[in-house]
Structure 1
C-alpha cells in the first residue's frame, strides 16, 4: 500500500483543477445509461472467469488462504475495507478519471485506454509480470468501458467486484 487512497484522490483533484478538466465529461463523474452499464458489468463477470482460468495456466501464484491466521481484528477489517472498496474507488478516480481524461483530451481515446491501463498495471509492483499482465487486461477492459459509457461508475463497480473476489480468495 505504497500510495494512499487520500493521496490518489488529492492528486486527482489537484490535477483536474490545474488541467481544467470537467468532472462530468473529462473525469467521467456522471451516471451511465443503465442498459450499457449492465452489459459492461456482465462482460466483466465473463472476463473475470477467463482471467481466473488463465492465472494457473500462466503460473500465477494461488493466493487462496493467504491471509488465514495472518491478520486479526481491526487489522483484517481495515485490510478488507481498503482493498475491497477504498482503493478501487481512489484508483479509478486517478487512472480512469484523471489520467484517462488528460490523455484522451491530448491524444484521443485509444491512447487514453492504453496509457491508463499500462501505468495502472505497472504500478502494481507487489505482483510479478504474470500478475501485472492479468491486471493490465482488466485495466484495458476498464478503459474501454470508461470510454464507451462515458462514466467512471461502472469501472468503479467492476474494480470493487474484482478486488472483493480477491479478498474473499485470500480469506478462504
Structure 2
C-alpha cells in the first residue's frame, strides 16, 4: 500500500501510531459504518411510515403493521410519498441529523479526539483549495449537464417532482440541501474512506467510496446513476488531496442547493 502523502494529509499528525493492527482498525470502522447506515435507514423508514399512517389511518387502525405494505392499495401511496417534497425533506432532515450525530459520537469514542479528527478530516484547508475544487467540480457539473441536454435519457425529473409537491421550501433546503450532503460526506468521504485507508491506497479508497455514493442514490434511473459516479470520484479526491472533509461537504452542498434552485438539472 502506498504511504499517505503530505498532499493528502497536510498535518503531521495525519497518521498517528496505531495501537491496534490496521486490519482491526478497518474492521472497527466498517462496523461503525454498518451501524450508522442501519440507523440512517431506520430513521428514514420511521418518518415515511409515520406519514403513511397519518394519510391512511383506515389501514393502520390497530397500529403499524409491516404486512400492510403488501396491500395493493397501500403500495402506490408509499411510492407516491417517496417523491413527495415534504416527506423527502423530513426524511432527509431527521435521518441526516440522527445518523451524523451517531457517527461523530462513535468515531470519537473509537479513535479519541485527535484520531477521529484525522480519520474524518476535521481540519481546515487553505482557501485556494476550496476555490480550485469548486472550479473542478463546476467543470464536471457543466459537462454532465451538457450530456444530459444532449441525451434526454440522462435527465431526471426527480427534483422537479419533489419541488412541485413541497409546501416548505426552507425545510427542503435544510434537509436535502444541507443535512443530506453533510451526512453523506461524513459517512463516505469521512468514515468509509478513512477506514479503507488502513488497508488500501487513496485511489482504491476513492473508487470504493464513489461506488457507495452512487448506490446511495437508487431513487434515480441507472443511466442517471452513472452520472453520479464521477461526482463521487471528484468528491473523493477533493477529500484526500485537501486533507479536509469540509471541501467535499461544500462541493456537495452547493450541488444540492443549486439542484433545488434549478430543478431542471440532472
**Scaled by the length of structure 2, what TM-score is found?**
0.58
- RMSD of the alignment, in Å? 2.4
Deviates more, 1:128-137 or 1:140-149: 128-137
RCO (CA 8 Å, sep 6+): is it higher in 1 or 2?
1
Q: Distance in 2 between matches of 1:46 and 1:118?
A: 21
| 8 Å Cα contact 1:88/1:156 also seen in 2 | yes
Q: CA 1:170–1:46 in 2, change beyond 3 Å: closer, same or farther?
A: same
Q: CA 1:65–1:151 in 2, change beyond 3 Å: closer, same or farther?
A: same
Q: Distance in 2 between matches of 1:43 and 1:86?
A: 23
Q: CA 1:68–1:158 in 2, change beyond 3 Å: closer, same or farther?
A: closer
Aligned match of 2:177: 84
User: Deviation string for 1:146-171 (max 9, x for gaps)?
Assistant: 01101111101100111011111238
| 8 Å Cα contact 2:97/2:179 also seen in 1 | no
Q: CA deviation at 1:127?
A: 0.7
Matched, 1:24 2:124: no
Q: CA 1:67–1:6 in 2, change beyond 3 Å: closer, same or farther?
A: closer
Choose the corresponding residue for 1:42, options 129, 135, 139: 135
Aligned partner of residue 198 in structure 2, secondary structure: helix
| 8 Å Cα contact 2:185/2:249 also seen in 1 | yes
Aligned match of 1:9: 100
Aligned match of 1:117: 210
Q: CA 1:98–1:121 in 2, change beyond 3 Å: closer, same or farther?
A: same
Q: Distance in 1 between matches of 2:117 and 2:237?
A: 17
The aligned length equals 170
Aligned partner of residue 231 in structure 2, secondary structure: helix
* Gapped regions of structure 2 (runs ≥ 5): 1-39, 45-94
Q: Distance in 1 between matches of 2:146 and 2:248?
A: 22
Q: CA deviation at 1:40?
A: 1.1
Choose 1 or 2 for highest CA Rg: 2
| 8 Å Cα contact 2:163/2:260 also seen in 1 | no
* Gapped regions of structure 1 (runs ≥ 5): none
Q: CA 1:24–1:18 in 2, change beyond 3 Å: closer, same or farther?
A: closer
